[in-house]
A and B are shown apart, each in its own frame.
Chain A
């Protein structure tokens, strides 16, 4: 498929010519954002954000709830018509959402094949299902799948399009801990085989540390901090370099150093603290939560 530039205004239309505001993208870049801004009412969620994602790079984006992580992902996916600035994402872009969002009236196989422009969509979809280990569930109705199975189907649906950029919007957050580990491994192996660039939005620092080549912290509407991770995978979460980085990232996220022994740390999403005397650590959850 020929790379195409997608600008904000035209993002919904495949036939639209490249709009003038999409900037030139160097080759080897899967996504490039310049001056991306988005406000909801008076609240500016993204304020002139710049970001490049290299082809084949696995990037994790973390940030406090409400920091605009999902807004950024939706902008890249072309789901936000109100965003301004310049976004270029040449080539196919796929998304796996937090809830798997399978179309309930289509069987698993038909879900994966939906909208697929291949000579034989069904057999391509079947191969993808085999890859995520869901081959025997191809004729199941989505409502009968377990959470992990549904998320696998959703991954297959995203991957079957051979994306150059794969957007993952907290796809693991609703899974139980064991399933999450399995799916982490699956995502890594799929990524290693197909090598799309990945942008993983997550609220889980440890997840970002385990998977990503580069961790971005979103703060004040921009990339406030970024840290490359060169350790080979699979990674030992107690590796000293990761522990140091964890502390650093948590500090960037506004969690005071003295409260970080509560790891693993996840951030409650969607609910801002209303307690005036509670410091940011009020958003901390213990491991059993």
Chain B
């Protein structure tokens, strides 16, 4: 028998903006563990076991697109055909073409920005969230600032960032950092505050010291929501990366896009966008894996 989970699930509205949802890919296979790990019911759940049915409509759509391109209905200057996109991707990767290695090197630069910015944002967000979550004083001082800053639209900051930090790597990385920080802060703070009071009472009755209370009750109790924050901020920081990279970049996927734009190479733009989407899906899958390991107690069965 399963006792109702006392652990927190993410508040409504914070979940399931996975990349599957955002990019409309065959969004499916990855959604399967969300219910067990995050307590949410993904929309695709009912189709478990006949997932291939869900491949029909995307395949048909790509087929129609290809047909439209081949018949000239869709001019190549507006949008390249799927076949040409695959060809472009091949040329961007493989050694015997003039654009050899462009995709790899761009991807590397972008991933580096993303990783640095994201890591800094997670550290900052969790740190501030823990301070706010654990102390009233911290909440009183930090929370109003964080809430106020959070409501500033990130895109609006771009001009200021250029004025402040120039057009080098720093504004791009910081942009990614900011996007991750606020979400991590909010989820960490809420995660700590939502830890079951009844379990805190148990800790009290068992005579736990403050440090033990943190280690055994509060932080593990906040973990599910912190991991939710991790997924949300991965998505948000990737979006920040996409936008931030197109400002005066001289390398990276964003640079690839702006270059291609000048030469009307829509296929290259599409390749970059697809790579972004794949990045998002991979990152999401990674966090899901992390959730599965860290929250094994929720799944009910010993690993």
Q: Is A101 an interface residue (CB 8 A)?
A: yes
- Whose C-beta in chain B lies nearest to the C-beta of A100? B3
Name which residue of chain B comes closest to A147, CB basis: B1
- How many Å from the CB of A264 to the closest CB on chain B? 25
On whether the beta carbons of B300 and A114 are closer than 8 Å, the reply is: no
Q: Give min CB distance, B230 to chain A, whole Å.
A: 17
Q: Are A99 and B302 in contact (CB under 8 A)?
A: no
Q: Find the A residue at minimum CB distance from B223.
A: A105
Interface presence of B201 (CB below 8 A)? yes
* B216 near A144: Cβ-Cβ < 8 Å: no
Tell me, in angstroms, the Cα distance from A129 to B199 when the chains sit together.
20
State whether A114 touches B7 (Cβ < 8 A). Answer: no
Task: Give the chain A neighbours of B298 by CB distance below 8 A.
Answer: 104, 143
Once the chains are docked, how many angstroms separate the CA of A115 from the CA of B1?
A: 27
Residues in B whose Cβ lies below 8 Å from that of A157: 206
Asked whether A289 is an interface residue with its Cβ less than 8 Å from the other chain, the reply is no
**Which residues of chain A from 130 to 160 have any CB-CB distance to chain B below 8 Å in the complex?**
139-147, 150, 157
Q: Is A141 a contact partner of B302 (Cβ separation < 8 A)?
A: yes
Residues of chain A lying within 8 A (CB to CB) of residue B217:
103
Report A-chain residues with C-beta under 8 Å of the C-beta of B7.
104-105
| B212 proximal to A (CB < 8 A) | yes
Q: Is the CB of A143 within 8 A of B3?
A: yes
Taken together as a complex, chains A and B put the C-alpha atoms of A12 and B202 apart, in Å, by: 13
Judge if A79 is at the interface, Cβ distance under 8 Å.
yes
Q: How many residues of A contact B (CB 8 A)?
A: 31
CB proximity to B under 8 Å, residues A73-108:
77-79, 93-95, 97, 99-101, 103-106
Query: How far does the Cβ of B210 sit from chain A's closest Cβ, in whole Å?
Result: 11
Q: How many residues of B contact A (CB 8 A)?
A: 29
The minimal Cβ–Cβ distance linking A14 to chain B, given in whole angstroms, is 7
A141 and B300 form a contact (CB under 8 A): yes
Is B42's CB within 8 Å of the partner chain A? no
Shortest Cβ distance from residue A202 to the other chain B in the assembled complex, whole angstroms? 19
Selected contact of B198 from candidates A99, A140, A141, CB within 8 Å: A99
- Residues B297 and A105 in contact, CB atoms below 8 Å apart: yes
**Is B134 an interface position by the 8 A CB rule?**
no
Contact A114 B208 (CB under 8 A): yes
> Quick one: which of B204, B223, B302 contacts A12, CB cutoff 8 A?
B204
Cβ B203 vs Cβ A115 within 8 A = yes
B164 within 8 A of partner (CB)? no
Taking a contact as CB atoms closer than 8 A, the residue among A14, A77, A105 that contacts B220 in the complex is: A105
CB 8 Å contact bits of B274-303 with A (1 = contact, 0 = none): 000000000000000000000111101110
Q: A115-B207, A115-B216, A161-B206 are in contact. List 6 more A-B contacts (CB 8 A).
A: A14-B207, A95-B205, A99-B198, A115-B203, A145-B3, A147-B3
- Residues of B whose CB lies within 8 Å of any CB of A are 1-3, 5-7, 198-199, 201-208, 212, 216-217, 220-221, 223, 295-298, 300-302
Question: Could you name 30 residue pairs across A and B whose Cβ atoms are closer than 8 Å?
Answer: A78-B204, A78-B205, A79-B204, A95-B205, A97-B202, A99-B3, A100-B3, A103-B199, A103-B220, A104-B5, A104-B297, A105-B220, A106-B216, A106-B297, A114-B208, A114-B216, A115-B206, A115-B208, A115-B212, A141-B296, A141-B301, A141-B302, A143-B2, A143-B297, A144-B2, A144-B300, A146-B1, A147-B1, A147-B3, A157-B206
